[in-house]
Structure 1
Amino acid sequence: MEESTGTASRKTVYLSLHENFVRENIAYTDRATGEERTFNQVRLPAGTIVDGVDVGGYEFSPLFVNPSKYRGEHWRDIPLIADRELWLRKSVLDEEGNPVLGADGRPERDLVKVMPEQVKDALIAARRAYVERMREADGLGGRAEAARAAAGAARTAPPARGTQTR
């Protein structure tokens, strides 16, 4: 018979995002104690679709943000507990782009509750769609072909007459 503890049975989902979508160590003063604290904030990229809803631009505040182990120095890994809902928030704006104020005078916020695995899958799908759009627009494929052709021509072309090779 296996004994499971609360922390051992929890799985972790890692979201990998470029540093442009992550703000780390934002300082604030705690109103109750007056001490300086920090928090992290993540904004999801445009085109991130969860259950048919585009959650691009929605934000959440993870407890931890780590440098990515596999993607390089400009990427961040965000560990999230797999069985805990992720609350995504976004300010409600009017037609002119101004925040809509509620009855209490505070800006209204739209709230979407999702599971971390759904966000991870949506980010993967959004990245694949982005790469496909770039390829279709001949952005990456055409430039890469032109660079290969230019590099090959430079290697095979003899030096111009009258130029120094040393």
Structure 2
Amino acid sequence: MTITIRPAVPADIPTILRFVRELAAYEREPDAVEATEAMFQEALFGPSPAAEVLLAAQGGLSIGFALFFHTFSTWTGRRGLWLEDLYVTPEARGSGAGGALLQALAQVALDRGCPRLEWTVLDWNTPALDFYRAKGALPQDEWTTQRVTGEALRRLAGQAA
């Protein structure tokens, strides 16, 4: 069966949120999702969208998604694309949906003049690492991701505990 890729529309929000929850469970963080349909409505389709989604479908059924947004490189002086999440339902893995989503996202990057498409992968997720290597992705081992959240974020902002 043919896989189709299309941009998400507001009616897709429940599916997107379901996929996000399924991905969180796969990544061993099932209770970490705080997002709501209203939050996705604002973030994806509000007056100043923060991200975009491509959906993969087969036989009229959504089987995966890629959520992405623009970054900016001071070194290149141009925007790039950051792939926040790529997810294909377990029963559709191996169908080519992940590759089709990546290919479509690469085309978006080229169409928009973006010299980079980047993302992170959990170091234990061997199937994903193998998949990305097969697509030509290279690890950026000299860089580490840093994150500040919660109380540490408030302290950094100078807010009292």
Fold-level similarity (TM above 0.5): no
More strand by share: 1
TM norm structure 2: 0.23
Give the alignment's TM-score, normalised by structure 1.
0.23
